[in-house]
Structure 1
């Protein structure tokens, strides 16, 4: 059933005249007559009778009117359910304790009037597919890993270069350092369990290890950040990398140290990705906020892989 003919029927029923209904709908009276005639053919009944005053509903027309109004209300609710202006902005932050999650918390504090849905998708292929299908509006990623350029309809902007830090236990050889040059980490065991092949962060660390001769171990199952902290605190021979903005909390007795890495400082590049035709009005607000709060990229004495999009 054509909703436009139903809408025309309701307008004519309310006005009592096809001419007034035509004026309300901004169409000709002939168009109203044709739509009503088409609806009557579809239903197999007469909906109006002509009177001296205009048009009056038949018994069938009166019975249909209540349902016609409900049809239009249901249609309005269906449209509203997918209207970008009426649904939350859906953003992927990869992990709840990540720098991207912190960026979105800051955005929410600045724009509390914008409804948000925060999601966590594991890999970049899933994120890009969700962006292109409209399942999400944006994602934070490091782009573009070797051999995996972004599709032409996906845009990106670099929003944060996050310095890496070395995390050690209290008995580690570098635990007392105020900072540590990257070259000094050669020969030390850096443990990062669960480094899944094919992910953007695996590509990042592969380049870091290759360029500076580091020893990175990813053996063993990934039991999560709490288990990682337990092991680093108890094992003097192991250290790990973490982002400066990574939010982790551990018992005071662990004595863990977060040590800046220098000469150069490795930075993990976070970019915002979105579909170029995404109509959500809050997406422009998010991009403007991130652009206004972003620090400079590719600063002196920092390192990032050559495949990272610089803009």
Structure 2
């Protein structure tokens, strides 16, 4: 059903005259008549009868009027739902305990007026497809994985280099160290069951292993961070890597240690991805906030894979 004809019908019904409806709609009286006639043909009924005083609704016209008003209200709500700035900014943070989630919490504190919808998507291909389809507005990722450059319509900016720390149980050989060098980790078993082949973080840790001769094991099912912490606390031979901004809470009896890694410090590069044509005004606000509140990258004494986008 043509909404212009419905709008014309409602205007004519309210005005009681086609001439006044034409003036309100900024069209000719002839155009109003043609629209009403077209609507009557579509519905198969007469909506108005002409009188000396103008136009009066027929019984069918009276029955149709409240529904016509509702059609226009629904149409307005539909347009408003996608009008720039009228819907929440939808951002993918990969996981709720990561540094990206912390960055979005900081943004929300600084800009409580911006309505947010935070989601967690798994891999970069899924995130990029969601950005391109408009399902989400932005995603935090480490870009770009070797051999898989971003599509030209996807923009990115590096927003945070997150230092990795060594997480050990109280009986681990390195548990008492205030810091460890990356060379000291050679020969120690680092257990990371959450690494999935083909993901960006798998590419990152593959390069870390190749660069420094580390032993990273991804064996066994991934039961989540709580199970990982239980195992690390109880197994002196195992340690794991943890981002310094990853938020975790464990029982006091676990006695876990988070130990800085130096010489160099491996850092995980977080970038923000978005579609170049995305008009959502809050997206620009988010990018400005991240630029103003996050530290620089490629600092002296740090390491990232060579494939990471520098800007």
TM range (shorter): over 0.9
User: What does residue range 163-178 of structure 1 map to in structure 2 within 5 Å?
Assistant: 163-178=163-178
Q: How does 1:174-193 map to 2 (within 5 A)?
A: 174-193=174-193
Which contiguous aligned blocks of 4+ residues in structure 1 show a shift greater than 4 angstroms? none
For residues 286 and 194 of structure 1, what CA distance do their matches in structure 2 show? Answer: 29
Q: Tell me the CA shift for residue 176 of structure 1.
A: 1.8
Which range moves more in the overlay, 45-54 or 159-168? 45-54
Maintained 8 Å contact 1:265/1:302: yes
Equivalent residue, structure 1, for 2:208: 208
Cα offset for 1:19? 2.5
The answer for the alignment partner of 1:129 in structure 2 is 129
Tell me what 1:224 maps to: 224
Q: C-alpha distance in 2, partners of 1:240/1:116?
A: 33
2-structure distance, mates of 1:286, 1:182: 34
Q: CA deviation at 1:31?
A: 2.1
Alpha-carbon distance in 2 for matches of 1:298, 1:34: 68
Shift of 1:81: 3.7
Distance 1:285 1:207 in 2: 34
Q: Distance in 2 between matches of 1:109 and 1:128?
A: 27
TM-score norm. by structure 2 comes to 0.95
Is the Cα–Cα contact under 8 Å of residues 94 and 140 in structure 1 kept in the other structure? yes
| Aligned equivalent of 2:263 | 263
Matched positions, count: 311
In 2, the alpha carbon distance for the partners of 1:85 and 1:299 equals 36
Question: What is the alpha-carbon distance in structure 2 between the residues aligned to residue 60 and residue 172 of structure 1?
Answer: 83
Structure-1-length-normalised TM-score: 0.95
Contact 1:164 1:244 survives alignment (8 Å):
yes
The whole-number CA distance in structure 1 between the counterparts of 2:169 and 2:260 is: 15
1:249-279 C-alpha deviation (Å, 9 max, x unpaired): 1122222111111121111011111122223
Matched, 1:290 2:290: yes
What is residue 36 of structure 2 aligned with on the other side?
Answer: 36
RMSD: 1.6
Which residue number corresponds to residue 98 of structure 1? 98
